[in-house]
Amino acid sequence: MDLTSKIILVTGGGSGIGFELARQLVALGNTVVICGRDAGRLAEAARLTGAQPITGDVTVADDQERILSAIREQHGRLDLLINNAGIFLAYDFRSDPGALQKIEAEIAINATAPLTLTRRALPLLEKSAQPGVLFIGSGIAFVASPGTPIYSGTKALIHHCAQTLRHQLQPHGITVFEAMPPVVDTDMASVLKSDNFKKMKPSDLVRDILEGMRRNQTEMLLGQSRQIKLMSRIAPAFLFRQFAKTEFH
Ligand SMILES: NC(=O)c1ccc[n+]([C@@H]2O[C@H](COP(=O)([O-])OP(=O)(O)OC[C@H]3O[C@@H](n4cnc5c(N)ncnc54)[C@H](OP(=O)(O)O)[C@@H]3O)[C@@H](O)[C@H]2O)c1
Report whether pLDDT(23) > 70: yes
| Nearest alpha carbon, ligand 1 atom 29 | 85
pLDDT of residue 194: 66
Give the model confidence (pLDDT) of 137-177 as tens digits: 999 999 999 999 999 999 999 999 999 999 999 999 999 99
Phi, psi of 196, rounded to the nearest 5 degrees: -85, 0
Cα–Cα distances (Å) from 243 to 22, 147, 177, 197, 232, in that order, read: 31, 8, 26, 10, 11
Give the containing element (helix H, strand E) for 229.
helix 225-234
Percentage of residues in the chain having pLDDT higher than 90: 96
Nearest by Cα to 226 from 161, 160, 182, 184: 182
* Pairwise pLDDT comparison (45 vs 249), residue with the higher score: 45
Confidence of residue 198 (pLDDT cuts 50, 70, 90): confident
- Residues 13 and 51: beta-carbon distance below 8 Å: yes
Average pLDDT over residues 197-212: 95
DSSP E strand boundaries for 29-139? 31-36, 52-55, 80-83, 132-136
Average pLDDT over residues 91-105: 98
Count of residues in the chain: 249
- Residues 35 and 108: beta-carbon distance below 8 Å: no
Ligand 1 neighbours, Cβ below 6 Å, are: 11-12, 14-18, 35-38, 41, 57-59, 84-88, 109, 136, 138, 181, 183-184, 186-189
| Nearest alpha carbon, ligand 1 atom 46 | 86
Alpha carbons 112 and 169: distance in angstroms, whole number: 18
**Amino acid making up residue 77:** R
Which ligand 1 atom is the nearest neighbour of the CA of 181? Answer: 6
| Cα–ligand 1 centroid distance for 188 (angstroms) | 7
- Domains defined along the chain, listed by start: 7-244 (3.40.50.720)
User: Best of 9, 42, 88 to mutate for ligand 1, by most ligand atoms within 8 A of CB?
Assistant: 88
Confidence of residue 197 (pLDDT cuts 50, 70, 90): confident
User: Best of 10, 11, 23, 37 to mutate for ligand 1, by most ligand atoms within 8 A of CB?
Assistant: 37
Average pLDDT over residues 73-92: 98
Nearest by Cα to 141 from 82, 182, 187: 182
| Cα–ligand 1 centroid distance for 16 (angstroms) | 7
DSSP E strand boundaries for the chain? 7-11, 31-36, 52-55, 80-83, 132-136, 175-180, 219-221
| Nearest alpha carbon, ligand 1 atom 1 | 184
